[in-house]
Amino acid sequence: MRAIISDIHGNLEALEAVLADIRSQNIPEIYCLGDIIGYGPNPRECIDLVVENCQVTILGNHDQAALFDPDGFNAGAERAIFWTRSMLESGDPRGNEERWEFLGELPRMKREQEFLFVHGSARNPLNEYVFPEDIYNQRKMERIFGLVDRYCFQGHTHIPGGFFEDYDFKSPEELNYKLELGNQKVLVNVGSVGQPRDGINRSSYVVLDDKTVHFRRVDYDFEKTISKIYAIPELDNFLGDRLRDGR
């Protein structure tokens, strides 16, 4: 049994709530699919908790942007990355050196038998979005599924659910929050811990128990996170506002 989390985005309150929920189920392993940082007000603390608690961590595009350059980011996301980088370069020299080293060594994907773990997609592990409406883009989905042996777990869009090889997508609600993995190829988006965008303001992650995926939602104190964002001029207020609406 393992928990699979993604897209924390520097949201300490959300990450702490999710880790507490995982501990309450006595789950021995946690996989993180990237984007530990970016957007949120607590990059150092979130990296430290991932280092401490996650057995496997994948590189996300915001993690890479902090290491190198925020290529293709919008203005608000770019400012947030530059602010995040400044936080990882000040105040804690020894700790920051270890955090940079950790980020710099993260792999872009991990394969375990029939399971593939990425941030974006099997075709472009770092940057490709796979949205629910992509089920209507048959060529795109064919190419992605062609690179998946059986099951792929991903994040990046912050929208949880399952993509099926017959060009169907089902939300956690449509799946009754449980997905049985069988012979059909499946892409599972685990949603976002720190910035859900499916209209629900609760943190999202999944639990993989043998061949059963359980979609989990967790309440957290987003008002506390919002107040931190408002207090940082380099972080757009919108990054806080969106947490209330899950958008």
The predicted model gives 71-95 an average pLDDT of 90
Q: Which residues contact 149 (CB under 8 A, 6 or more apart)?
A: 111, 114, 116
Which tokens belong to 224? 């506390």
Q: Quote the pLDDT of residue 69.
A: 81
Domain spans in the chain, listed from the N-terminal domain onward: 2-222
Q: Which residues contact 96 (CB under 8 A, 6 or more apart)?
A: 44, 88, 89, 90
pLDDT digits (tens, 9 = 90+) for 177-188: 999 999 999 999
Q: Which residues contact 244 (CB under 8 A, 6 or more apart)?
A: 201, 222, 223, 226
Question: Could you tell me where the DSSP H helices lie in the chain?
Answer: 12-24, 43-53, 61-67, 75-87, 93-104, 138-145, 222-230, 238-245
Q: Quote the pLDDT of residue 186.
A: 97
Q: Quote the pLDDT of residue 200.
A: 96
Residue 24, Cβ neighbours under 10 Å: how many?
8
Q: Above 90 in pLDDT, residue 40? A: yes
- Residue 233 pLDDT grade (very low, low, confident, very high; cuts 50, 70, 90): very high
**What is the Cβ-side half-sphere exposure of residue 198, based on CA atoms within 13 angstroms?**
24
Q: Above 90 in pLDDT, residue 90? A: no
Q: Quote the pLDDT of residue 202.
A: 97
Q: Quote the pLDDT of residue 3.
A: 98
Q: Quote the pLDDT of residue 87.
A: 94
- Residue 72 pLDDT grade (very low, low, confident, very high; cuts 50, 70, 90): confident
- Taking each helix axis from N to C end, the angle separating 93-104 and 43-53, rounded to the nearest 10 degrees, works out to 60
The predicted model gives 112-118 an average pLDDT of 96
Buried b (16+ CB within 10 A) or exposed e, 134-173: bbeeeeebeebbeebeebbbbbbbbbbbbbbeeeebebbe
* Domain 2-222 coded CATH 3.60.21.10: yes
Q: Above 90 in pLDDT, residue 161? A: yes
Nearest to 9 by CA among 231, 200, 204: 204
Mean per-residue pLDDT of the chain:
96
| 231 exposure class (CB count in 10 Å sphere: 0-12, 13-18, 19+) | exposed
Q: Above 90 in pLDDT, residue 196? A: yes
∠14-18-19 over CA atoms, to 5°? 115
Q: Above 90 in pLDDT, residue 18? A: yes
Q: Above 90 in pLDDT, residue 92? A: no
Q: Quote the pLDDT of residue 94.
A: 85
C-alpha to C-alpha distance for 25 and 8, rounded to whole angstroms: 20
Nearest to 43 by CA among 215, 172, 234, 196: 234
To the question of pTM greater than 0.75 for the whole model, the response is yes
